[in-house]
Structure 1
């Protein structure tokens, strides 16, 4: 027997993308994202500018999501929103809007943890995506987070390891900035890496205990390497951009894969899923597919549109919480720091 149709409006505003989606149960009817271009000139996200842009974007984005889904707001069953973690100013815009609309429509309000949503994005009903079996290991890799999480069921998650300093996405972007590449630099590093030799230059991998990560030392070593080389040859970066990007990416992927292999070894779980913006990286995708063949893992990679910050992933958590009656009160407040499982 199929579940009765429930329409969830989801809102995501944790960083610099304003997104709204409409889901009918676990199926995405619309997933609209407004990207803020203004941050490119600053080489990174400016929180105050991000929150102002959310205020400008949220009404038209929600309107467009409803129109694309061909759903009237009166047909909505609930509103799901990102409570955290993220930039406080940005979260406040989405939280306030969601609370007001839910109150006006007299429908349930559902809070969602942004990082749990990246993991549960795998349960969106999509022909091109298969769903992991519980328990599975999830590696969430983004601009603000790097974690390995044991997922026993949709509402039971345990963080096994996380970054002690910078996130992997930040390592990509800041390495790109050192090479003079524009923000966001991660996708450009991936692009140039495809054309280069990953073994051209050797960068040190940090020694970090257990399943935790560290990327600050790697960034420093890349900085010193580039300073040394450009002192000898001012055109070194331009002449060797492909090999530099390939070597940087290779080192970062080695760090991620070594920790993931250790997690599989320690837990005995061979179901592995990835999520977060860096999950769009072609290198990590090919390394995971390679692990399926060489290590016997079963790996799960979401569609590109569900990797970066988007409201569809908020909506799937909203639907799962709706089914169990897990609703939020109107006095809920945004949380810049919001740990998985809290």
Structure 2
């Protein structure tokens, strides 16, 4: 089957993004923008289009590579994505991709779908010896938006409803989704300053490189940036990314005034309203960590009681013991 398929790089950002966002499972992590960001922070990024004998695309694959001496670590996020024609070629797509990689005995591949997998591609990974690595950090909370926002208002915890009412009745508190590039850049600068202060205060670390992400996220039409002000002063910035059906809370930062005026509650609810207005079916809280960050979990849990998995991560290597050890490490770290 793989002999009927060809695999070639795609060097054109416009062509790549048009193809990605035309698919039902098109997502930020498979987009050119995300690949550009990962390239800035040290990954070698390649984008491939798999085509059938008629030259019709059947799959899109963006993969990232880091090298340590003679060893390669290959990472795929939000893909492989199959086209409608590609569903029947899933097994051949995976075979051709592994052939393209020409892995060494110590090389490893990890696939992180971030909710955007299809049944066909999962079965293909299993058929080629990929193993799942599951971890508590791959859980999130979701809201079903298909019934509108009123049922969500009725179902939220009383403390959540009370905080939301307090914020909505506060004439000094305003929210605005930013579309102007200069405003989005300024808001991200404010976010990064507040985020740094939060990291210093709470002692947590994060892999986000704000200065290298700044212009990419500000220019990207699939990211939403919400600004909350109290008496004209910024108190909170919240960032989300969107796909066809999903609206995902991504990053947030605030100052000391935000909690006092219930700005986080108002910001999340504005996200929920915006997601429903855009026709998204699911609001994703972007992750939970009940064991190590109980306060944030309790805040999110006040609005949603529905856990969901973004994982597992799928691991492959030519050496089974190394593959299994890597999967075990990712499951428990």
Question: What's the TM-score, normalizing by structure 2?
Answer: 0.28
Greater share of strand: 2
TM-score normalised according to structure 1 size: 0.27
